[in-house]
């Protein structure tokens, strides 16, 4: 099943991080080789001038549910799980998130791990370093089956 996801998501896998490296191994990642995706690229969270703490709740909400960043800005996201359920923060376009959510529904046990997502256990915090290289509207969603559909989605407005 992982294979199926990879086949579908292959265009979105930054080469340098495609082999199961965890956030803890970030120092070993060559971010200069991170693939440019339609919604930006993986970036070293230590280079971020801005940290955005995003709380995730069992009410199926992100807080904040909306933020504005400047094009080119590197953001260090710290998703914090305030609930009792597993939640995740996945960055992407609305189209990609919807497709991915469908896939998760079809294959609930599916493992997925990419630099633009963080799975966060109850009471824990994760980290995503991301550079928004394109202006436009992008999103973050929780793709645990049922959560996205319940409205667990937030918006990133990237201004030029």
Residue 87 interacts with Cu ion (CB under 5 A): yes or no: yes
- Radius of gyration over every alpha carbon of the chain, rounded to an integer in angstroms: 14
**What minimum distance in Å lies between the beta carbon of 96 and Cu ion?**
17
**What minimum distance in Å lies between the beta carbon of 33 and Cu ion?**
31
- Residue 38 or 151: which CB sits closer to Cu ion? 151
Residue 104 interacts with Cu ion (CB under 5 A): yes or no: no
In angstroms, the CA 88 to CA 85 distance is 10
**What minimum distance in Å lies between the beta carbon of 160 and Cu ion?**
32
- Per-residue tokens: 86: 């597993």
Q: Which sign does the torsion angle of CA 110, 113, 118, 120 carry?
A: positive
In angstroms, the CA 27 to CA 75 distance is 17
Phi, psi for 41 (deg, rounded to 5): -150, 155
Phi, psi for 100 (deg, rounded to 5): -65, -40
**Stretch of 2-10, 34-42, 100-108, 150-158 lying at the interface with Cu ion (CB under 5 A):** 150-158
Return the residue of 142, 153, 156, 158 that touches Cu ion, per CB under 5 A: 142
Residue 100 interacts with Cu ion (CB under 5 A): yes or no: no
Binding site for Cu ion (CB under 5 A): 87, 142, 144, 147, 152
């Amino acid at each position: 099943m992982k294979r199926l996801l990879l086949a579908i998501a292959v265009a979105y896998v930054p080469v340098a991080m495609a082999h199961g490296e965890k956030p803890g191994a970030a120092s070993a990642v060559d971010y200069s080789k991170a693939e440019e995706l339609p919604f930006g690229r993986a970036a070293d969270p230590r280079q971020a001038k801005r940290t955005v703490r995003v709380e995730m709740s069992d009410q199926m909400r992100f807080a904040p549910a909306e933020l504005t960043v400047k094009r080119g800005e590197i953001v260090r996201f710290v998703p914090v799980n305030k609930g009792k359920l597993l939640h995740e923060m996945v960055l992407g376009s609305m189209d990609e998130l919807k497709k991915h959510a469908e896939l998760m529904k079809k294959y609930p046990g599916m493992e997925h791990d990419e630099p633009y997502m963080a799975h966060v256990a109850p009471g824990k915090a994760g980290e995503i370093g991301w550079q928004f290289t394109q202006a436009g509207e992008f999103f973050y969603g929780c793709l645990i089956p049922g959560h996205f559909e319940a409205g667990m989605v937030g918006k990133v407005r990237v201004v030029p």
